[in-house]
Structure 1
């Protein structure tokens, strides 16, 4: 039987499903429902077709890269469960995360056509634009769709009990920046960049400042290949920083905390890093004690009291507070999944880079936004949320599928 026509087989509704998932991130329950239903629906449709229309839906290369990137994330989970500190939880997490694979196929299919990419990337830009506008309103009035500003920083649509606004905006910044540049040129890009700088600064997470800084430099070079644009951006960002610092005591305190790193002492470094040095030292001890497959995914909190120093500040009150995860991607992978997990992750990175290297210029152009977003999200010289948590792991895998699906939509390879 002939394959379904491309107009039917491409699942024209897939981009809308992806956008609904992202738009619902501030509401974890509904977002998880969309993810699970999307996975079930994708599996049902593929089973009904018995994968006969698979290559119409997506190229061989995109299927393969999406699956391999998922496996480089998931297999360490499964292997870490063998002798984990909390084997039940590690195994449960790995089995639950299997639902990501069909959903990632759906995401890759969503950006497998020009129409799908326009809808998905443009829709992401619109969603982030709304979140930015809402955050600006909160900065001016104290109110947001996510509730009043009761935290010590902008919380926006995520709410004061879920302070992820700056981190999410920074990781997804390539989408509104690319959209603004494509539609309005340099002026549009600069306006989008300065709004992002203002909101991410006031959102307070200093890891997001590093991420956004990387995005802005690389996005400016991708879009305009002009050092003058980077200089103009730096001057504008400095002006925004000065104005924001004058108007926000909390932001000024964070800048002063960051400056403590210049003292060169361990105490100053630990103060600048919000007390993360003991957590990182504990993560290294876990990795040394369990070098093969770690203490188990999401087992960091269970193992922490056994490997922390006697005077660990996070144990003084009988709780280990921020010691729920390593706060750094390399240390998280090493401590929770060991050298085996790190090798799988590095293998995934190598294959993603190889796909980029051998892709055509046209393929790189259409994948530039998700490629940059994925690269800065896993940038190792920064602090991070837990990559094996539901939210941040889901965000990272989503970016991986957007990258694979857009880069390799037509195979993406240069001619021999």
Structure 2
């Protein structure tokens, strides 16, 4: 009678295959040049995709399930059509490359590199660590008045991203806070949960000092959704902790400055008395809508929005915003996108691109929520992973109402979609996903004897 066979461990199997993705996050912690182009993190994301492909060939693994291939491949439909209609061949190639990186290649690589919930949690904690670092830099900028310029003072927290990517730190901190809250609401050890709670509370300060209304709204919506999905008891405990932290931040530490209060109040005045940034946003949205009306099916082509903007925008558009501070000189930053991902896709890719992209995101969200529901009903492990994955999806889809892709922090969007894709398409069925290495036939026969 033969003995049960155990796959031989491959050399270095103790190392997590998601370490290249962790390296991408680590590179996002480095200061960036003010040019705003592709950076080290983008290059590392390409190497992570290449590393994933090499692993698939070496281990003779099927790349993706049929469902995963369809869900992640849907955006390619609109991209291919829009690339043909781009203002120039170079715009078509570079625009398609960026979209493929963020919405197809990086998410697929993250999905394939994650073996189990341990790898998932490693990436989630890495996102929290990146947020803490960027948040610490941002708070230091506010305290020492070395941040980006805001209402004539260099106090806006932007982390290492600089004033050219003023939303970068806000996005990183928001994502880290969402991950920390998901880890805190799970069924991990009490020590891990309390550490996650502490990280979430600490991240509230740099999020506030980013003065980013879009990040505030996306984070509030997402955290509310996570609390509801986690259950009433956990929701009440977390709400009490947030309320206590808010009292300490605003009352005890004096974070609630007049500028911060004015920024919060401005959220309710976006329709009655909007400031210039809101006026510019409305003008850009109107321009994107006008492009879609004239090119409803395929849009104006990838990277076509800047070319058509002035022909559709109202005279109220200032066309550029002033940026300076945080170690950078004064610069006029041109407004080259509508700052709304849905309208950007609608204007450049038409209904073809928007339907394909939205269908992919909706499928991920539905699958992720179904997995969360099964995990809660069975009271099985992985609730923290489910809440992190669903939270990242909700945050990203909400944030896309006020932002689009662009800047050094863009690659982070692909990592978030990859985490969500793993849970939605592979993680909740509790398959471990580890690769078994087949034994040579002669060794197998010897063991069997």
TM-score, with length taken from structure 2: 0.74
Q: Is the 8 A contact 1:153 1:250 kept in 2?
A: no
- Which shows bigger deviation, 30-39 or 403-412? 403-412
Cross-structure match for 2:114: 111
Q: What's the CA shift for 1:170?
A: 1.0
Cross-structure match for 2:212: 205
Secondary structure of the corresponding residue to residue 209 of structure 1 = helix
Structure 1: runs of 5 or more not aligned: 145-149
Cross-structure match for 2:243: 235
- Pairs within 5 Å for 1:208-227: 208-223=215-230, 225-226=232-233, 227=235
| Bigger Rg, structure 1 or 2 | 2
Q: What's the CA shift for 1:90?
A: 2.3
Indicate yes or no: 2:256 matched with 1:251.
no
Q: What's the CA shift for 1:18?
A: 0.8
Q: Is the 8 A contact 1:334 1:342 kept in 2?
A: yes
Cross-structure match for 1:147: none
Secondary structure of the corresponding residue to residue 157 of structure 1 = coil
Q: Is the 8 A contact 2:165 2:408 kept in 1?
A: no
Q: Is the 8 A contact 1:84 1:299 kept in 2?
A: yes
Mapped partners of 1:45, 1:341: distance in 2: 31
Q: Is the 8 A contact 2:338 2:344 kept in 1?
A: yes
Aligned pair partner of 2:90 in 88, 91, 100: 88
Mapped partners of 1:196, 1:174: distance in 2: 10
Mapped partners of 2:145, 2:417: distance in 1: 35
Structure with greater strand share of residues: 2
| Alpha-carbon displacement from aligned partner over 1:87-106 (angstroms, at most 9, x marks no partner) | 53023321465456554333
Secondary structure of the corresponding residue to residue 325 of structure 1 = coil
Indicate yes or no: 2:269 matched with 1:260.
yes
Indicate yes or no: 2:411 matched with 1:394.
yes
Structure with greater helix share of residues: 1
Cross-structure match for 1:165: 169
Indicate yes or no: 2:46 matched with 1:36.
yes
Mapped partners of 2:388, 2:91: distance in 1: 35
| Alpha-carbon displacement from aligned partner over 1:163-200 (angstroms, at most 9, x marks no partner) | 22112211342222234454547755554333222211
Change in Cα spacing, 1:109 to 1:11, as seen in structure 2 (3 Å) is farther
Secondary structure of the corresponding residue to residue 160 of structure 2 = helix
Indicate yes or no: 2:375 matched with 1:368.
no
- Which shows bigger deviation, 330-339 or 243-252? 243-252
Change in Cα spacing, 1:43 to 1:84, as seen in structure 2 (3 Å) is same
Mapped partners of 1:221, 1:189: distance in 2: 18
Q: Is the 8 A contact 2:17 2:113 kept in 1?
A: yes
- Which shows bigger deviation, 154-163 or 283-292? 154-163
Which structure carries more relative contact order (alpha carbon 8 Å, separation 6+)? 2
Mapped partners of 1:161, 1:321: distance in 2: 7
Mapped partners of 2:130, 2:333: distance in 1: 32
Q: Is the 8 A contact 2:279 2:317 kept in 1?
A: no
Change in Cα spacing, 1:348 to 1:110, as seen in structure 2 (3 Å) is same
Mapped partners of 1:338, 1:3: distance in 2: 53
Mapped partners of 2:116, 2:71: distance in 1: 21
Q: What's the CA shift for 1:339?
A: 0.5
Secondary structure of the corresponding residue to residue 280 of structure 2 = coil
- Pairs within 5 Å for 1:46-85: 46-49=56-59, 52-54=60-62, 61=65, 64-65=67-68, 67-85=69-87
| Alpha-carbon displacement from aligned partner over 1:337-393 (angstroms, at most 9, x marks no partner) | 110011102211232134235434148623320221122111278411x23x36465
Cross-structure match for 2:27: 24
Mapped partners of 1:93, 1:345: distance in 2: 15
* Aligned residue pair count: 393
Mapped partners of 2:176, 2:89: distance in 1: 34
Mapped partners of 1:313, 1:178: distance in 2: 40
TM-score, with length taken from structure 1: 0.80
Change in Cα spacing, 1:64 to 1:381, as seen in structure 2 (3 Å) is closer
Structure 2: runs of 5 or more not aligned: 33-37, 148-152, 322-330, 432-449
Secondary structure of the corresponding residue to residue 91 of structure 1 = helix
Aligned alpha-carbon RMSD (Å): 3.7
